[in-house]
């Protein structure tokens, strides 16, 4: 996996991002969309900021807009009288990119060795206010006089090291700006494509019920099935199901198969997923991970799109969400408490790794009851540790529970729990 430099963010890459996103974004409105981030652009030179670093400025005073990137979404916030004030969703990895009036790149926020701001484990949740104080330019790094890491953003050095891996996501995003190779950035014509990896864990264990705890998890035996999700906007919707994925260019796979295809609401988008099917010695089928590299995504048999794929290792953001069903006096399930641990069984906070959460209860007749939704940043479940059901369920009808979450950059994780 190719990792973007953590010391100096690639200027060419950021220029590509700007061209692709800036005109497709609307100006940030004044409504609270999550975490408030603000600061003041410094016009003086040679001033000191964090630690003993010295900063130059001048070019930063030309900043007119800040491009806000979070997952596969974006917005633009205007710099007014040298003041920055914008919102970004909690539990997201947010990049802040400063541009001038001609949309030319100036620099990006750089904090504690990170070119993204991990808005996780926040001191005041999604009502947290982060005041970066004065902002200075050092090369292409926009450095704040106040560092929120360890304060409003309550993470440690181990967390920081993990979040450095997220740079690869933005690098891959930059390479997918003009996937149909027509010389026009895809966002200008409503033809943008977003890639996510899906990690589907076979049965993790047995859920708990009231005072009966969940089964002990043997993490060494966890099996992960992989798939590649391609999400496209309305102007890309194919006319038929003649859809294929081939590659990577330097080491092609011969085992890629399409597993599902979904149209979005009112034809605004589509989802298609691919797997690499492999037959195991015991006769079972396993979905293998996709190799990094350049793929060709073909629709209608003729429209080819060049896609760069780079996945984050599942182990970086794999969190075991361990459920216990709670019943009322009538024996019906009214809520689910969820404990979270890393694969080494270290207890952790879900807000450090999870952006959206969804629970799906399956009964023996194939009926599904759902709580929450993934990719819904506007209406997330209010509590990831205690999910209150919108309507009680009969315990006897439940066959299994699937816990689904997205990580900070939109990859999807499925964890199946069976009933004892």
Q: What is the pLDDT of residue 46?
A: 36
| Structure token digits, residue 365 | 């007749």
Q: What does each C-alpha distance from 250 to 20, 157, 274, 294, 309 come to in angstroms? A: 27, 37, 19, 8, 13
- How far is Cα 186 from Cα 193, in angstroms, rounded to an integer? 8
DSSP labels for 72-131?
A: TEEEEEE-BTTEEEEEE-TTSEEEEEEE-TT--EEEEE-BTTBSSEE--SBTTGGG-EEE
Q: What is the pLDDT of residue 13?
A: 39
Do the Cβ atoms of 247 and 294 come closer than 8 Å? yes
Q: What is the pLDDT of residue 90?
A: 84
**The 293-299 sheet, strands edge to edge:** 243-246, 293-299, 303-309
Pick the closest to residue 136 from 45, 199, 212 (CA basis): 45
Query: Three-state SS across 341-383?
Result: ECCCCCECCHHHCCCEEEEEEEECCCCEEEEECCCCCCCCCCC
Q: What is the pLDDT of residue 208?
A: 97
Q: What is the pLDDT of residue 27?
A: 40
Mean pLDDT by 10 residues, the chain (420 residues): 30 41 40 80 50 47 85 78 92 83 78 87 89 90 92 88 66 51 51 81 92 88 90 70 88 92 74 90 89 86 78 78 95 96 88 90 90 84 95 94 89 93
Q: What is the pLDDT of residue 34?
A: 84
């Amino acid at each position: 996996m190719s990792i973007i430099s953590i010391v100096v963010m690639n200027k060419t890459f950021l220029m590509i991002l700007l061209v692709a996103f800036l005109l497709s974004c609307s100006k940030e409105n004044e409504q609270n969309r999550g975490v408030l981030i603000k600061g003041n652009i410094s016009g003086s030179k040679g001033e000191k900021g964090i630690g003993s670093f010295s900063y130059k400025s001048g070019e930063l005073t030309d900043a007119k807009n800040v491009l806000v990137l979070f997952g596969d979404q974006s917005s633009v916030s205007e710099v007014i009288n040298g003041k920055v004030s914008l919102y970004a969703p909690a539990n997201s990895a947010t990049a802040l990119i400063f541009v001038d009036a001609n949309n030319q790149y100036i620099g990006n926020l750089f904090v504690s060795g990170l070119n993204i701001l991990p808005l996780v484990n926040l001191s005041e949740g999604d009502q947290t206010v982060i005041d970066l104080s004065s902002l200075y330019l050092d090369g292409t790094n926009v450095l704040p006089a106040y560092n929120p890491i360890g304060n409003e953003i309550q993470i440690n050095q181990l967390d920081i090291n993990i979040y450095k891996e997220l740079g690869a996501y933005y690098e891959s995003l930059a390479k997918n700006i003009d996937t149909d190779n027509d010389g026009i950035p895809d966002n200008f014509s409503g033809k943008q494509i977003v890639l996510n990896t899906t990690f589907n864990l076979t049965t993790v264990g047995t859920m708990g019920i009231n005072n009966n705890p969940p089964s002990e998890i043997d993490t060494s035996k966890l099996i992960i099935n992989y798939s590649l999700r391609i999400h496209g906007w309305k102007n890309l919707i194919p006319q038929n199901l003649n859809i294929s994925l081939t590659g990577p260019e330097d080491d092609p796979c011969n085992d890629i198969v399409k597993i599902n295809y979904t149209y979005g609401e009112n034809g605004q988008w589509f989802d298609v997923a691919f797997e690499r099917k492999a037959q195991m010695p015991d006769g079972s089928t396993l979905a293998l991970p996709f190799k990094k590299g350049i793929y060709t995504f073909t629709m209608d048999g003729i429209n080819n799109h060049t896609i760069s794929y780079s996945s984050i290792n599942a182990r970086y953001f794999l969190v075991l969400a361990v459920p216990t069903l709670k019943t009322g006096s009538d024996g019906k399930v009214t809520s689910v408490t969820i404990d979270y641990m890393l694969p080494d069984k270290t207890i952790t906070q879900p807000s450090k790794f999870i952006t959206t959460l969804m629970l799906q209860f399956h009964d023996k007749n194939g009926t599904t009851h759902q709580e929450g939704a993934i990719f819904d940043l506007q209406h997330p479940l209010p509590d990831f540790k205690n999910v209150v059901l919108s309507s009680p369920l009969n315990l006897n009808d439940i066959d299994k529970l699937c816990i689904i979450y997205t990580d900070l950059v939109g990859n999807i994780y499925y964890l199946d729990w069976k009933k004892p």
